[in-house]
Amino acid sequence: MSKVVIGMSMSLDGIAGGTSEEDFYVIHEAVLGWVFGLRSWQAAQGMGGGEDTADSRIWQAEFDRIGAQIVGRRMFDYGYPHWGDNPPFHNPVFVVTHRPGERIGKDGGTSYTFVTDGLASAVAQARDAARGKDVLIAGGISIAQQALAGGLADELAVHVAPVLVGTGARLFDALGAAPIGLRPEAAQLGENATHLRYRVPK
């Protein structure tokens, strides 16, 4: 059966996003900067460059196992104009939102389906769409926290950027169900990030 994986990047001090317009770009670069130069990531964007590094191969392995993705509305609204006509997902994407909308089909295997009856429903729909592959909960922070607190995830993949940001929005916060015990399953050293994987007990 396909697994549900929360996959997120954070700084070593646990910051995964900005809290204001001013710090957004600084934190975005600090936390996600490790992906932009990867050959695998650039290939998913339709670009032909980038470096074939350990980070790139780890990113590719995570991409290959995924058959559907879930994102929150804020992340969708921010990303949609940038993702273009051939978006980097190459899989069905389920957007958790309060605003209904028609399904949007794109090139390269990406579609956007708007789910208005909650994250658990999005997980169920994504499982069906993933054709036996795994489901990635890709963010933002609020959706990842809901998935953890709601017991909806089987795995947690955290890409730790080697920086202490000092300020911003924490990935693990407002966890109503904490403490949550995890089982460590992998720790991989990359050039510009450290990649941790945990099983989340049900």
Binding site for a copy of itself (CB under 8 A): 12-14, 26, 30, 148, 158, 160, 162-167, 170-173, 175, 178-196, 198
- To the nearest whole angstrom, how small is the minimum distance from the Cβ of residue 130 to a copy of itself? 26
- To the nearest whole angstrom, how small is the minimum distance from the Cβ of residue 188 to a copy of itself? 6
Going by C-beta distance under 8 Å and a sequence separation of 6 or more, which residues neighbour residue 40?
Answer: 50, 56, 57, 59, 60, 63
Instruction: Give the C-alpha separation, 83 to 121, whole Å.
Output: 24
Instruction: Give the C-alpha separation, 117 to 47, whole Å.
Output: 36
- To the nearest whole angstrom, how small is the minimum distance from the Cβ of residue 9 to a copy of itself? 13
- To the nearest whole angstrom, how small is the minimum distance from the Cβ of residue 58 to a copy of itself? 11
- Helix, strand, or coil here: 168? coil
Name the residue type at position 202: K
Q: Nearer Cβ to a copy of itself, position 81 or 181?
A: 181
Instruction: Give the C-alpha separation, 69 to 126, whole Å.
Output: 7
- To the nearest whole angstrom, how small is the minimum distance from the Cβ of residue 153 to a copy of itself? 12
Per the listing, tokens 């969708």 go with 76
- To the nearest whole angstrom, how small is the minimum distance from the Cβ of residue 16 to a copy of itself? 11
Q: Nearer Cβ to a copy of itself, position 30 or 93?
A: 30
Q: Answer yes or no: are the C-beta atoms of 136 and 69 closer than 8 Å.
A: yes
Instruction: Give the C-alpha separation, 51 to 150, whole Å.
Output: 38
Q: Nearer Cβ to a copy of itself, position 95 or 156?
A: 156
Q: Nearer Cβ to a copy of itself, position 95 or 171?
A: 171
Q: Nearer Cβ to a copy of itself, position 143 or 193?
A: 193
Q: Nearer Cβ to a copy of itself, position 93 or 200?
A: 200
Q: Please report, for residues 42, 61, 195, the alpha-carbon distance to residue 69 in angstroms, rounded to integers and kept in the order given.
A: 18, 15, 20
For the record, the structure tokens of 20 come out as 């204001």
